[in-house]
Structure 1
Amino acid sequence: MYSPYLYARASELLALRSLISEKTDLTGLLPVIEPVISDTSGIHRCMDAFGNDKKPLIVVTNPNQHQYLNNLATQANFVKVSQNLFNSHTTLLPGYCIGSTTTQKDVGAFLNQYPGKNVVLLYNNPALSEVQIQTNVTFNQILFHVVLNDKISTAQLSKLPKNKTIITQDFFNKLDRNTDYSGKEFFTDKHKSVGKDFYAIGDYTITGKKLEMGGGKPGAVASHITYKNSNTSDIWVEHFVSDETDRNISDAETKFLEMARKLVRQVRSLPAEFGWNSSLKAYDDHVNQSTWSGLPKNKEYQIKHHINLMLDVLNKRL
């Protein structure tokens, strides 16, 4: 089982919706999305797409990033306007993040808000006692327990059932500038422990857990494409960067095509490592036709490829 953690920005939501619209085999996929923008139209379209297709999707109902940061009113409004979607679709799973200030009373209030519905608890430096965590585990309503970035004690973790625990970590080595990336590097081997030490593996795809909104004119255009190392079966990532890296020279389309030509050449030479999916085909088409769809699409392609790759590896298609 694979459980990517995605901030609900446009590229991430479009990547998820594309997986549904393209009829991708999503066996073993359990995404987590955290709202970051108060306008709920985009995230609601994504929730509706997964719900209508009867695919599971965890939605964090107490987000605390960007426009939700320390904003209880915005959080409450998201819960209110999303209630009908949760009620209408059994596969949409409300998630609640337990942090250092979360009390057992808070957890109880969350559970009471969704009576009779499966929910998910996420742990990010929880202050709950081992007894309280063990008590929560007994509630059949809680379908999964997501541990974020090892922010839980060994004693607390030992109380969580392995067959319901998702281990989510940031495996992407994020750098300040696109031009700083080069070559290949190890991403993770945690997928080898799925079904043994825990139920599912999660990551922050190729964006990392640090949320960065917006962005100006790029110096370099880059794509971070994961692949299965044929020697070790570990997941690695290769960074493809445009030749031109000066923001004041050339345009983004030219830089995108410089990068994409390198990417396509490498993917074509190692099909057993990169696999093949709609994102890689999109890059191939752009190169063949000398076109592009803008920088947001480049990000969408990378995220969608990574999800496809992880599913291919875990389902032994690659």
Structure 2
Amino acid sequence: MYYPYLRGRQFELIALREYALQYGDKNNIVPIIEPVKKTFNSMKLALPKLINRKVKFALILNPQVGEIDNPQYITEALTVELADQSDWIPAYILANDYENIAIQIEKSGYKDVMLICSDITDSSNIGFENLILSSNIKYIVSKENRTLKRKLSNKGKHLIRLDDSFNPQKRNKDYLVMPEEKFSEEHLYYKEDGYNGFSDYTVIVSDFIEGGAAPWAVAIHLTYKKENNEIWVKHFVSDSNDSIANIQGKFAEASEKAVNFLNLSNIHNNASDELRGYYNNATYPGLGMVKKISIKNHLELINELLNTVE
């Protein structure tokens, strides 16, 4: 099973909505959503679609980035959407506040909780060990950690490996010198390596970055499978990158490269066909929609691969 880690922003949530509508009946994905906005309109649109299509999701109740400084905002704003816990997985990010998290879980009455280990989680701490082995905890998400894997061996927990697979560049135009690179092969080996699932940040930078200035270059990131079923990512970048002018033209340049690759490789899914439509109609959808297409393409690709290998 694949557990993509996404922040709860508009276009990430649109990607999930559209994916659920198209693949809910053949789904191998459980998205992990970290709310980052105090306004929940996009979440209220997305979560019912996931629930209706039986796409289970994990919702982080103590986000570490963004606007939310009180976890109560989340449960109060989404009372209707979170009413049936069989539809979703309560999730908490672990720093070193093990006792506090344990108290929150106990008070909530949540079962089958997900814990997400951060870079400062101390897996040798007795409080951490007591927490992860408690009966309320079912899922543990962590970067590669052999000590943790041994602790959880034969304990009935679901260990999910988190990788930061996307290699970000400082500027979009820097991707011009690295047109493609290996992204992941976890879908092939995660079970063999002792994991119950695998996770990454899709084709988004793992660090939380809000907003930003107008780009000098447009980059479209599309994952695809090699003949050996490894996942690689290609970066399609505009050429007229000397100023911020004519963002529509920059998109046309980048999308032309992307569509040519998709056609030559005979890649067809909902995301790639949407990109073809914008290019063929000479339409600029906005950078948010470009990001949505990249995310949805990645979700569709991994779901297809898991349907093939599992």
Give the structure-1-normalised TM-score.
Answer: 0.88
- Counterpart of 1:59 in 2: which secondary structure? strand
Identify the residue that residue 165 of structure 2 maps to in structure 1: 171
Identify the residue that residue 63 of structure 1 maps to in structure 2: 63
Pairs aligned (count): 304
Q: Is the 8 A contact 2:27 2:55 kept in 1?
A: no
Cα deviation digits, residues 46-99 of structure 1 (max 9, x gap): 22222232221000000010213xx3xx33322333344322352211101111
Bigger mean CA deviation after superposition, 184-193 or 158-167: 158-167
Task: Please give the residue correspondences for 1:151-170 in structure 2 after superposition, counting only pairs within 5 Å.
Answer: 154-161=146-153, 164-170=158-164
Partners of 1:269 and 1:54 lie apart in 2 by 35
Q: Is the 8 A contact 1:134 1:160 kept in 2?
A: no
Partners of 2:261 and 2:175 lie apart in 1 by 16
Aligned residue type for 1:277? N
Partners of 1:173 and 1:164 lie apart in 2 by 27
Partners of 1:292 and 1:317 lie apart in 2 by 36
Identify the residue that residue 291 of structure 1 maps to in structure 2: 283
Identify the residue that residue 77 of structure 2 maps to in structure 1: 81
1:200 positional shift:
0.8
- Counterpart of 2:33 in 1: which secondary structure? strand
Identify the residue that residue 242 of structure 1 maps to in structure 2: 238
Aligned residue type for 2:237? V
- Counterpart of 1:316 in 2: which secondary structure? helix
Q: Is the 8 A contact 1:130 1:155 kept in 2?
A: no
1:266 positional shift:
0.7
Identify the residue that residue 145 of structure 1 maps to in structure 2: 140
Partners of 1:42 and 1:248 lie apart in 2 by 29
Partners of 1:173 and 1:314 lie apart in 2 by 23
Gaps of 5+ in 1: none
1:279 positional shift:
0.8
Aligned residue type for 1:206? V
**Residue 228 of structure 2 corresponds to residue 252 of structure 1:** no
1:140 positional shift:
4.0
Gaps of 5+ in 2: none
Aligned residue type for 1:261? E
**Residue 193 of structure 2 corresponds to residue 225 of structure 1:** no
Identity among equivalent pairs (%): 27
Partners of 1:256 and 1:116 lie apart in 2 by 46
Partners of 1:295 and 1:156 lie apart in 2 by 39
Give the structure-2-normalised TM-score.
Answer: 0.90
Identify the residue that residue 198 of structure 1 maps to in structure 2: 195
Cα deviation digits, residues 203-248 of structure 1 (max 9, x gap): 0011121111112222111101111111x32211110011211234
RMSD over aligned Cα atoms: 2.2
Q: Is the 8 A contact 1:226 1:309 kept in 2?
A: yes
Aligned residue type for 1:76? Q
Change beyond 3 A, Cα 1:286–1:85? closer
Change beyond 3 A, Cα 1:52–1:187? same
